Amino acid sequence: MKALLEGKVAIVTGAARGIGRAIAEQCAREGAKVVVSDIDEEGSRQTVDSIKSAGGDAFFFKADAGKAEDNEKLVQAAVDQYGALHIACNNAGIGGPQSALGEFPIEGWDEVIRINLSGPFYGMRYQIPAMLEAGGGVIINMASILGQVGFEGAGAYVAAKHGLLGLTRNAALEYSKHGIRTLAVGPGFINTPLLTDNLPEEQLNQLEQLHPIGRLGEAEEVAELVVWLSSERASFMSGAYVPVDGGYLSR
C-alpha cells in the first residue's frame, strides 16, 4: 500500500519534542521528507536522528516561529533542499502566563500573540506562495480546544487560538480554489513533558477528569490526525476545525 504522504515535502514547526516531534516522525513514516524546525537545536536534532534511524529523510532548520524573516528563510530552505513544499504544520506555540485579564502582564500577552497567532500567519504568508508554485498543498494550524472555549487564567492563549481558527477559515476561502487546503486541529490536554513536568499530580488528575474519555491524549494520537488531514484521503476538507479532545468539548 502506498504511503499516505509519499513524495511530499513537509515543514513541522515546534518539532523538537511533544506533539511536534510526533507529527514530524509520523509524516516521515508515511513517506514525506520533513523539515524539522524549532529554536531548540538539541531536541530538534534528536527528532531528525529518530526519523533517519527509522529510514526517513529529514533535516533541521533553526527558526523562531514568531519572526516573519525566520519563516521566510525556513520555507526557502525547504524548497532549496527538496525542490518544493507541499505540507506545513504550524505547530509551534507557548502557554504563556496564567493570570486574570485585569492583571495579565503586557509582555506576556505580546509574546503569546507573537508566537501563537502572528507565527502561523507569518508561516502561511510564505508557505502559500511556495505551495502555489508546487501546484497545491495543505496547511495544518495547531489550535486547541481553547480555540472554541475559554479557560480561566489563559486569556492570551484563548484569544490567540480563537484568532487562529479565523485565520485558517479565511485562508480556506481564499486558496481552496487554488489547490491549497487549510485546516485547524484542536487537541485537548496531551500527555507531553511540557504539561506533565510542570503540573502536580493532583492537577493532572483534575485535567484528566475534564475529558469524558477519562485520560489525557497522547502526542501520537494528534499526529495520526494531522497526517490523515494532510493526505489525499481528506481531499474534500478545507477550512474545518477538527478537535482531538477525548470528548472535552462535548461538556
Among this protein's residues, is 157 annotated catalytic? yes
Helix (H) or strand (E) holding 162: helix 155-175
> What's the CA gap between 140 and 138, in Å, rounded?
7
Which residues does residue 88 pair with via DSSP β-bridges, in sequence order?
A: 11, 139
Burial class (CB in 10 A: 0-12, 13-18, 19+), 3: middle
Q: Any bridge partners for residue 141, and if so which?
A: 90, 184
Among candidates 110, 30, 118, 126, which has minimal Cα distance to 77? 126
Annotated catalytic residue, options 82, 122, 126, 157: 157
The residue with cell 519563516 is: 71
Short-list 138, 142, 140, CA closest to 179: 138
Closest Cα partner for 14 from 57, 98, 74?
A: 74
User: So which residues are the catalytic ones?
Assistant: 157
